[in-house]
Every structure is written in C-alpha cells, then in structure tokens.
Chains A and B, each alone.
Chain A
Amino acid sequence: GAGVSQSPSNKVTEKGKDVELRCDPISGHTALYWYRQSLGQGLEFLIYFQGNSAPDKSGLPSDRFSAERTGGSVSTLTIQRTQQEDSAVYLCASSLIVGAQGETQYFGPGTRLLVL
C-alpha cells in the first residue's frame, strides 16, 4: 500500500505569509506525528494526534503554529505570519496503534519550507 505522503514537497514563501502543509498518513494508522528538521538540529517534535485529538501541543514553537486532523486521516500543519527561522523540513509520520509504545513510525518525504 501507499506510504505517508506530504504536500507540497517544496514551498517558498515570503515572510509574513501563511502556509499550510498537508500530511496523508498510511491508511488505518491512528497516530500521526509532526516534526521539524533543521540543519544540525535533528528532529524537533512538534505535535502528535491520537485519532483527531492532539493530547500534547507543547512542542509547537509558538502560537503561530497550529495543526488539525480530520476524519482520523489527513492532517494540516498551518504556520501563520511565517518568519525566516521557520525555514526547515517539516516531516510527518504515522504509526498503527494508538498508545502502544515501541510502535514503528513511518515517515513521509517531508515538505521543505523556505521563508524569504
């Protein structure tokens, strides 16, 4: 079956504009995660969903960042009033079972965001 897909693959935007990043998880995966990968910084956890709810939003770097998930499937990460420091690769991952520890995460190819 299809893996995790993300769109767009690349996004260039001007400072101050809003952007939406989309993630389509593997069908049937109930857990969905967003990470930010900056050069030399590894993977920074942003938020995860169990179904449509997000129990932990503590990783979001500021109130300009928000995310939602509808129908237990597609998720959208929105960055409002983008800043140059938001430039990074945004990765989405999904896993099969909610709350079961040790589950393997399956990653999408990422969205490379560049804020000019």
Chain B
Amino acid sequence: AQSVTQLDSQVPVFEEAPVELRCNYSSSVSVYLFWYVQYPNQGLQLLLKYLSGSTLVKGINGFEAEFNKSQTSFHLRKPSVHISDTAEYFCAVSDFRDDKIIFGKGTRLHILP
C-alpha cells in the first residue's frame, strides 16, 4: 500500500525567502503525486500534480515540485514566499491500482514578516 510522509509539521520562513516543503512516498508501483493547499478557513485546492513526463512540475502561485523516483520524493519549492502563502500544504499519492488518494499529515507554512 502507498504511504506519504511529510516530515515537517510546521515550517516558518521569512517573507521573500525561499522555501522547500518535503514529501516522501512509499509505493511498489508507478505513482501519481499531488500537492494540495488549504488556505485559512478555506477548502483544499490542487496546487500541482505529477502524472508522467517531465519530473519538474509547475503549479499555481509560483510553486513547483520535482519528482525524484530514486529518492521517492516530491518536494515542493518556491523561490520567494509571500504572506499570502500562509496555509497548510498536503502531499498526496495514488496509483493505477486504486482510486484512493492517500494524503500526508500536512505541513503548516508560517510566513514571518
């Protein structure tokens, strides 16, 4: 079965600094990978996803993620964060065998002024 690990429950970062949110997954087959974002008092929305092809995926709001099969990782990055990026970020995985999507426990991004 698949699993997702987000090692950092909270990440503080200064405004305009770069950020990386880590995600590692476990699966014995090819996977599809997602990052969802939940802004305060809002529902989850898709930030970006990897299905196949280029391992560097660009999403909304200047975020990008890189699929690394050898390291079973899908870390999320942004070169310069803004106060509006304050949110909780969830990494998720699914594969062709199952319609379920397994979510990580989330990483809360705190932007410091």
Are A105 and B43 closer than 8 Å at their CB atoms?
no
A102 an interface residue at 8 Å Cβ cutoff? yes
| Inter-chain contacts of B15 with A (CB < 8 A) | none
| Inter-chain contacts of B36 with A (CB < 8 A) | 105, 107
Using known A-B contacts A42-B90, A42-B106, determine if residue A102 contacts B43 with beta carbons closer than 8 Å: no
User: How far apart are B49's CB and chain A's nearest CB, in angstroms?
Assistant: 7
A20 an interface residue at 8 Å Cβ cutoff? no
User: How far apart are A87's CB and chain B's nearest CB, in angstroms?
Assistant: 18
User: How far apart are A5's CB and chain B's nearest CB, in angstroms?
Assistant: 10
Are A109 and B42 closer than 8 Å at their CB atoms?
yes
Provide the bound-state CA to CA distance between A83 and B94, in Å: 31
| Inter-chain contacts of A41 with B (CB < 8 A) | 105
B interface residues, Cβ below 8 angstroms from A:
6, 9, 32, 34, 36, 42-46, 49, 51, 90, 92, 94-96, 98-106
A interface residues, Cβ below 8 angstroms from B:
4, 31, 33, 35, 40-43, 45, 48, 50, 55-56, 59, 91, 93, 98-99, 101-102, 104-110
A-B contact pairs, 21 of them (CB 8 A): A31-B99, A40-B9, A42-B104, A42-B105, A43-B44, A43-B90, A43-B92, A43-B106, A45-B102, A45-B103, A50-B99, A56-B98, A98-B99, A101-B32, A104-B49, A105-B46, A105-B101, A106-B45, A107-B43, A107-B45, A108-B43
